[in-house]
Amino acid sequence: MQTLKTDTRKRILAVSRKLFLEKGFQGATTREIAAASGVTLSNLYHYYPSKDELFRVLLKPATDALEGLLAERHGQTGYDIAKIREDGYAAEELEEYMGIIRKHRNSLKMLLFKSQGSSLEGFKEYYVEKATRSVLDWFKLMKAKYTGMDFDVSEFFIHLNNVWMFTLLEEILMHDLPEEETRAVLSDYVRFELIGWKKMMKI
């Protein structure tokens, strides 16, 4: 019985992913999701009480990956700023971006282009605001640790920098860049960012 429930849940998720990607959150209905999954509408709601919850479950691995990237790099336990000087830092950052896109490409498309009407519609704005606050707090921690650091970056510049990251991601996904071209674009982005930050922070 448990195996049957697990199979049904997986089938609902697979069908939902296809329909949400094709029609968007607003366009895909629970009735057609249920029909395509081979379950009744009431049975669908037994597994997922609302269309929004189903959408959030589908996208949770992708949103968790983005949240994890922020926490790892700029959270209270994030990287020390001195790590930027390490030889392998750029390659490590590149692989993190590549891994997220490779693993969550379709989920990111749904999140950024197909989420209108869902509770995740404002995720980009939420993330940019959270990232801006996290980076500002991270800079304060680094300045307290390295008292010789003497630089100031405006809050709005950090906001724009986070928006730029999402714009880059959106363009890669919108144009369906193949992996090799995605890697080349992201490599340029990472190098450009690191050179700029090193120059500003004098490290």
In a domain, 123, yes or no: yes
Residues spanned by the domain of 25? 1-49
- Total domain count for the chain? 2
With a cut of 70, say whether residue 77 has pLDDT above it.
no
Q: pTM of the predicted model, to two decimals?
A: 0.90
List of residues 6+ apart from 12 with CB closer than 8 A: 33, 37, 39, 44, 47, 48, 54
Per the model's pLDDT, the better-predicted residue between 151 and 172 turns out to be: 172
Same domain, 30 and 79: no
pLDDT, tens only, 166-177? 999 999 999 999
Report the chain's mean pLDDT, rounded to a whole number.
Answer: 91
Environment class of 73 (CB within 10 Å of its CB; exposed 0-12, middle 13-18, buried 19+)? middle
Residue 68 lies in a domain: yes
Percent of the chain with pLDDT over 90: 70
Query: What CATH code is carried by the domain that includes residue 33?
Result: 1.10.10.60
Q: Are 108 and 62 in contact (CB under 8 A)?
A: yes
Return the structure tokens found at 49: 């009480």
pLDDT at 1 over 60: no
| Cβ–Cβ < 8 Å for 110, 124 | no
47 token code pair: 């597994």
> pLDDT grade, residue 50 (50/70/90)?
very high
C-alpha distances in Å from residue 81, one per residue of 116, 123, 138, 152: 37, 27, 9, 15
54 in any annotated domain: no
Same domain, 15 and 74: no
